[in-house]
């Protein structure tokens, strides 16, 4: 049976990883193996996530990045995935969750890759957002994933994490990529801080919290966490 190798990049938020494991096991219909690549800065968080993985019986890897960079953790995961030689591989942010029974492998088969497309504005290059991206090994072939960002002539032209993967898709017909429904929903009253404060992203049957690691400072972050935890408890 074909198997999907999933790698989730953890960052100090143990409860997100626990809910992701729970909901993947409940809703993902594909045969899959799940590995946590822990990019936490502090050792206490790393120990908690390591212990959690032990309780749930999932694979744990500590990112070797000295700067705790997201792209370093993703490249470490990509190297590990390459060595495993599974038929399908995928990468997840730690705050994205399936909400109902769903399958990824048939969607990956459509184009050989699947996820949410993004464009690097200055160059126009297309790539997959690395928080929800999947590849068929036959499509990748000998090519290597590179989750670095494009480096522009000036700092403002630099691309986001994952944009350096654009050469993989340069000759691809993006019309073959399955495109899930996409939108946003409010979790509390909208404010001037944006989605990372008041809402979350919906990608087909998946939800993405967009600020699970608290990378952006917003009002009442613990209230937001509780509202999102309540949402997950109902899934």
What confidence tens digit (pLDDT) does each residue in 204-216 have?
999 999 999 998 9
CA gap 81, 37 in Å, rounded: 11
Q: How far is residue 24's CA from residue 19's CA, in Å, rounded to a whole number? A: 8
pLDDT digits (tens, 9 = 90+) for 102-122: 999 999 999 999 999 999 999
Rounded to whole angstroms, how far apart are CA atoms 205 and 184? 13
* 173 pLDDT tier (thresholds 50, 70, 90): confident
Q: Do the beta carbons of residue 13 and residue 228 sit within 8 Å?
A: no
Residue 144 within a domain: yes
Residue 1 has pLDDT above 70, yes or no: no
Mean pLDDT of 118-140: 95
Q: Give the CATH number, domain containing residue 77.
A: 3.90.550.60
Q: Is the predicted pLDDT of residue 130 greater than 70, yes or no?
A: yes
Mean pLDDT calculated for residue range 131-144: 96
Give me the sign of the Cα torsion angle 81, 45, 18, 213: negative
pTM of the entire predicted model: 0.96
- The rounded distance, in Å, linking the Cα atoms of 222 and 220 is 6
DSSP state letters, 110-135 = HHSEEEEEEE-TTT--EEEEEEEEEE
Domain presence at residue 89: yes
**Residue 220 counted as domain residue:** no
Determine, yes or no, domain membership for 121. Answer: yes
Q: What is the pLDDT of residues 177-191, one digit of tens each?
A: 999 999 999 999 999
Range of the domain at 25: 4-178
Q: Is position 163 within any domain?
A: yes
| pLDDT tens-place string over residues 60-103 | 999 999 999 999 999 999 999 999 888 999 999 999 999 999 99
Cβ contact 27:101 at 8 Å = yes
pLDDT of residue 39: 97
189 is a domain residue? no
Half-sphere exposure of 125 (CA within 13 A, CB side): 23
In a domain? residue 218: no
Q: What is the mean pLDDT of the chain?
A: 95
CA atoms of 168 and 165, how far apart (whole Å): 6
Average pLDDT over residues 227-234: 96
Q: How many domains does the chain have?
A: 1
Rounded to whole angstroms, what are the CA distances from 137 to 92, 122, 143?
17, 30, 10
**Which pLDDT score is estimated for 175?**
87
**C-alpha to C-alpha distance for 171 and 174, rounded to whole angstroms:** 9
């Amino acid at each position: 049976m074909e198997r999907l190798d999933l790698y989730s990049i953890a960052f100090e938020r143990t409860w997100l990883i626990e809910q992701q494991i729970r909901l993947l096991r409940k809703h993902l219909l594909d045969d899959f193996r799940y590995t946590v690549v822990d990019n936490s800065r502090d050792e206490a968080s790393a120990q908690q996530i390591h212990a959690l993985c032990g309780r749930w019986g999932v694979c744990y890897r500590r990112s070797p990045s000295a700067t705790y960079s997201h792209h370093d953790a993703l490249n470490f995961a990509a190297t590990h995935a390459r060595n495993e030689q599974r038929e399908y591989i995928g990468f997840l942010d730690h705050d994205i969750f399936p909400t109902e029974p769903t399958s990824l492998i048939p969607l990956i088969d459509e184009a050989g890759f699947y996820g949410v497309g993004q464009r690097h504005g200055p160059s126009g290059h297309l790539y997959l957002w690395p928080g929800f991206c999947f590849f068929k090994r036959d499509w990748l072939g000998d090519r290597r994933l590179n989750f670095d960002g494009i480096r522009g002539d000036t700092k403002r032209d630099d691309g986001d994490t994952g944009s350096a993967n654009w050469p993989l898709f340069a000759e691809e017909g993006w019309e073959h990529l399955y495109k899930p429904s996409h939108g946003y929903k409010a979790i509390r009253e909208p404010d001037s801080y944006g989605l990372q404060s008041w809402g979350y992203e919906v990608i087909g049957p998946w939800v993405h919290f967009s600020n699970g690691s608290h990378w952006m400072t917003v009002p009442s972050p613990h209230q937001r966490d509780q509202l999102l935890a309540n949402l997950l408890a109902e899934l």
